[in-house]
Amino acid sequence: MSALTGAPAADSPLARRNPTVKLALLTLVSLVVVLVLDPVTPTVLYLLGFVAVAASVRVPARTLALAHVPFVLFALGVLTVNALARPGTVLWQAGLLRVTEEGLSVGAALAVRTLLVGVLAIGFLLSTDGVALMTSLHQNARLGARVTYAILAGYRMLQELPREWATIAHAHTVRADLRDGGRPPRGPRHLAGVVFTLLVVSVRKGERMAQALESRGLGLEPRTTWKPVRITTADWVLAAGVVAVVAAVLALSAVLGVLRGPGALGS
C-alpha cells in the first residue's frame, strides 16, 4: 500500500498527461478485458502495459514490484479457487482436491486480468497528483466541486494511511506489555486495537476536513481555477495509441483463434 501512496513522479512522461484522460483509459481497458476469458490475450496486454508503465513512470523497480504484491496475492487466490472449484476435465486429483482444465484456463485468465488492471492502476496512482486529478475532473469531466473535493480529500487520506498506521502501531506497542523474551505483541488483539484506532482517527479527520471545506464555501458558484489542467494534443495521442494497441491485440487474438469471451464460463 505504501508503494502506491507515495508522491507521484512529477517529472515522468505519464505524469504530464491529463489525469481525466488517464482515468478514462484505465476504465475503458478494465471494461474491455472483463469480456476476455482466455489467458493468452490478457497476458499479452499485461506485458505491454507493464513495459509501458515501467518506461513512462520513472520510479525504482523495487517500488513497482512492491506495488504488485496485493494484486499478485489476489490473482493467486482467484487462480486457486477456479482451478479447484470449476468443473471440467480433471488434470490432477488427490482426495477431495482436483484441478480441472477448464478451471485452470478460466482461473489463469481472471488472474492475469487482475494483474493487467493492477499494473494500469499502479501507473495511474504513481503518476497522478491529487490536486491535478481534482482540478481535471472538475474542469474536463464537468464534475461538481463537492464531488471533486471529496475525491481529493479521500485521495489525501489514502496517502496518509501508511504513516498513520505506523504511528498507531508503534504507540500501541509502547503501551502494551512485552511478551516472553522482550518481544512486542503481534497477535490478533493487538492488530484489532490498531485497526480500530485507525478507523476512529480517519473518521475524525474526515469530519474535520468536511467542516473545513464547508467553512470555505465549498459548492458555491461561480468558482475559478488557479492552475487549469487542459487536454492537449499529446493526451489525444496517448488515448489513440492505447485504444489502437488494445484493438490490435484483440483482433490478432481473434484471428489466431485464441480469443474467448464469456461463453468460456459455461464450459
**Range(s) of the domain holding residue 57:** 14-134+230-266
What is the tens place of the pLDDT at every residue in 187-240?
Answer: 677 778 888 888 888 888 877 877 777 666 666 666 666 677 889 999 999 999
Q: Domain check: are 165 and 207 in the same one?
A: yes
Asked whether residue 125 is domain-assigned, the answer is yes
Are 113 and 42 in contact by the 8 Å Cβ rule? The answer is yes
Instruction: Tell me the whole-structure pTM to 2 decimals.
Output: 0.76
Q: Domain check: are 157 and 89 in the same one?
A: no
What is the tens place of the pLDDT at every residue in 59-101?
Answer: 888 888 888 988 999 999 988 888 888 777 777 777 777 778 7
Alpha helix (H) residue ranges in the chain:
19-33, 40-56, 61-85, 101-127, 130-139, 145-175, 188-215, 233-255
What is the tens place of the pLDDT at every residue in 124-134?
Answer: 988 988 888 88
Q: Is the pLDDT of residue 2 over 60?
A: no
What is the pLDDT of the chain when averaged over all its residues?
Answer: 82
Q: Domain check: are 58 and 155 in the same one?
A: no
Q: Domain check: are 127 and 26 in the same one?
A: yes
How far is it, in rounded angstroms, from Cα 267 to Cα 256?
20
Q: Domain check: are 25 and 86 in the same one?
A: yes
CB count within 10 Å of CB 42 equals: 25
CA 68 to chain centroid, in Å, comes to 9
pLDDT of residue 208: 81
State the total domains in the chain. Answer: 2
Cell of residue 71, nine digits:
494484486
Q: Domain check: are 192 and 243 in the same one?
A: no
Q: Is the pLDDT of residue 1 over 60?
A: no
